[in-house]
Structure 1
């Protein structure tokens, strides 16, 4: 055993040194050597490239080698490096190379990544064209990639193109699913075609799809935005009758819709009913009611709700504290201001000069805080509050 340990102590540093040497040798200069490179070594070379300008040149150098054997993993790294440098035309060239070489089989995951890159960069046409040209690379898109393109089109408000892409699903060998229809409903709502969106909801059974809570919540959201809150509640009842339970997003949408119409008491009541429906309120639920109370100038009720939020482990936002303090100051409820200010400080928020000024204006006459008071003097006064 002692002899074995002695050999291990001697050999182990050498093994470590060899690993370091192997890693340090994974540089572009290795492409100039004639020794055979494994796919992982080639991949490491491209991962280490820090300059997106050199990616195409290095790829060209690698293609001249006898052991040239590109893989999906390699092309994924190449495309990601080029996208970070915003070399979108170079990505087009790489795709042409792949098509011409026909030596590498690519999966839907690769094209999904390319389509997302184009979409995030605003190249909507390229993203759409990529979807329908995947077959030229011997790869058929999945419904996930198809829906990704629909989402990109909705985000870009390309509503006319959405319908054309939707009609192209059979050519791609795809069957429409609920997610796809939900995206279409979202697009119809955002283009102010609510009637068409409801008509599509009625088409779900014909397309062998079932609407889910996201389907209904999307429609409720846009009904509330158009001040059609009562219709949103009717749709919620229809949803429950169909056996679909509302979730937190559904309740938040309805609460926000009620509060924006000034029906804050109903919003508070719905907040209390959420738990009875087996749905736990989240910070957005409380915040929607809180802003409703603030908009209705019910500052004492807002203060009480903030106390409840804190007890539930939900922390109010800085803007909530600011609005509550300003409102309480306007109503000369200085005792409540002191309590809110203390909780604000405990949460780690630092009141700004405008908030201190508002508090001091409520405590003293406006003659004390005049324009003659310097910023330094005002700061010293504020520290004593």
Structure 2
């Protein structure tokens, strides 16, 4: 013991502060001396003794961590670069004053009616504040989670992207007392906000058995449409087949969704079989029914069959709208029958009393540009601009490229100026084509005049 104390005193007397390495070693020896003095009265079992060390393994590990080591090298034997420290996390934003005032209402002892609680929940500015609101409200004696209040809470949880909070809240409710409006909202949030289509389908099937609530046709059709839009065609067929078990009466909207799914997976024959079942189920096809079938036929390349459905529409007394004609124009354009598409746009739609929209003109313009009929495409695009429809950036890009290849500077100038009016900015590749077209002209004076006008404009 005296020897160790003598060594410690010698270390303290030495002038070690000038050498950092010696300072570190001296500190380790200093601490080591006290540890030795502390453990000397404790007998060391023989199983811990060895020829190389007289200390237990835990103390050996402690000593190793105390001894300073050099910086470990990388596998490539190079020093690691000095990387800047990551920025600190930003402080949490202060609570919204409106939400603070709302939450204070739930801390008061005044009685809150369910209508007042629902109004306060609907007026939250930050949807994540619904967690605090629900915690405060559930601890009160007047807590009564009505259907409208519950819809407000799950809406806020969905907006704040809090699926676990929503699921925990659902488990505390007695859903057997709620109507179809609540389940429709819940299924809608499951499918759209959280992308949990499986939960939406399970909730639909659990409504009549577990929650004692028959789903409405609106809720049933919503789930069916989500499945078809997500291309889960087999599950959609199972849901459709379960309509009688769920107590749902199939309507024309349900059949249209089923036809959309069958056309999407290429089963046109089955789609027409469903179409033939409309009279048997007491439903009448509408314009959406025919538009979906026409789109399926056009995707298969049977445009003539799609025009045949146009005649059947008249027999059913269903008038064609702009969506139907756009489907036909698009089908003709994909087959390269641009002249027929122009006739549909300029004659047939007018005869049927249907006004074309921007999509109608755009499809014809695309067809003309695909066939390098740039002058006619320019006329269609001019008509679009006069009618208040803006041509797409791609149509301007193809038109400028075609006009530059032909060397028509005036037409290029018109296309560029129209692009700027539509707030489209030509990219570098387009500018290269324009400059190459302008410079390649024979007339130097006209070229300079054009460049001056572009720079001034």
Same fold (TM over 0.5): yes
Match of residue 180 from structure 1: 254
Query: Is the Cα–Cα contact under 8 Å of residues 332 and 341 in structure 2 kept in the other structure?
Result: yes
Cα offset for 1:40? 4.3
What is the rounded CA distance, in whole Å, between the counterparts of 2:388 and 2:201 in structure 1?
45
* 1:146 corresponds to which of 220, 231, 256: 220
Q: Distance in 2 between matches of 1:318 and 1:49?
A: 38
Distance in 2 of aligned mates of 1:383 and 1:357: 15
Among 190, 202, 211, the residue aligned to 1:129: 202
1:60 is displaced (CA, Å) by 4.3
Alignment of 1:235-246 (within 5 A): 235-246=309-320
Structure 1 position 323, deviation (Å)? 1.2
Q: Is the 8 A contact 1:26 1:44 kept in 2?
A: no
| Deviation digits for residues 78-101 of structure 1 (CA, Å, limit 9, x no counterpart) | 10121123222332332222227x
Query: 2:372 & 2:253 partners in 1: Cα distance?
Result: 41
1:38 aligns with 2:113: yes
Deviations 1:39-83 (A, max 9, x none): 34423553437363x645642442332212222221112101211
Of 69, 74, 78, 2:144 maps to: 69
Matches within 5 A, 1:171-320: 171-272=245-346, 273-320=348-395
5+ residue gaps, structure 2, are 1-97, 442-450
Deviation at 1:348?
A: 3.7
Is 1:48 matched with 2:118? no
Cα separation, partners in 2 of 1:32 and 1:345, compared to 1, 3 Å: closer
Return the alpha-carbon distance in structure 1 between the equivalents of residues 453 and 417 of structure 2.
17
Larger deviation: 112-121 or 143-152? 112-121
Q: Cα distance 1:324–1:353, how it changes in 2: closer, same or farther (>3 A)?
A: same
CA distance in 2, matches of 1:171, 1:217: 30
Q: Residue 263 of structure 1: CA displacement? A: 0.4
Displacement of 1:166: 1.1
In the comparison of the two structures, how many residue pairs are matched? 347
Give the alignment of 1:295-374 within 5 angstroms: 295-365=370-440
d(CA) in 1 for partners of 2:293 and 2:138? 53
| Greater Cα offset, 110-119 or 144-153 | 110-119
Cα deviation for residue 24 of structure 1 reads 8.0
Of the structure 1 ranges 29-38 and 181-190, higher mean CA displacement relative to structure 2 is found in 29-38
Which residue number in structure 2 is paired with residue 115 of structure 1?
Answer: 187
Is the contact made by 2:130 and 2:153 (CA closer than 8 Å) also made in structure 1?
yes
Contiguous gaps of at least 5 residues in structure 1: 1-22, 367-378
Query: What is the SS of the residue equivalent to 1:98?
Result: coil
Q: Look up the match of 1:4.
A: none
Q: Which piece of structure 1 moves more, 109-118 or 338-347?
A: 338-347
Q: State whether residues 26 and 42 of structure 1, in contact with CA within 8 Å, keep that contact through their aligned partners in structure 2.
A: no
* Corresponding residue number in structure 1 for 2:167: 92
- Structure 1: distance between partners of 2:232 and 2:154: 26
Q: How has the CA–CA distance of structure 1 residues 308 and 48 changed in structure 2, closer, same or farther, with 3 Å as cutoff? A: closer
Query: Cα 1:95–1:310, aligned 2, differ >3 Å: closer, same or farther?
Result: same
Of Structure 1 and Structure 2, the greater helix share is in: 1
Alpha-carbon distance change, 36 to 251 in structure 1, aligned in 2, over 3 angstroms: same
Computing the radius of gyration over CA atoms, which structure comes out larger, 1 or 2? Answer: 2
TM-score (norm 1): 0.82
Q: Distance in 2 between matches of 1:31 and 1:267?
A: 64
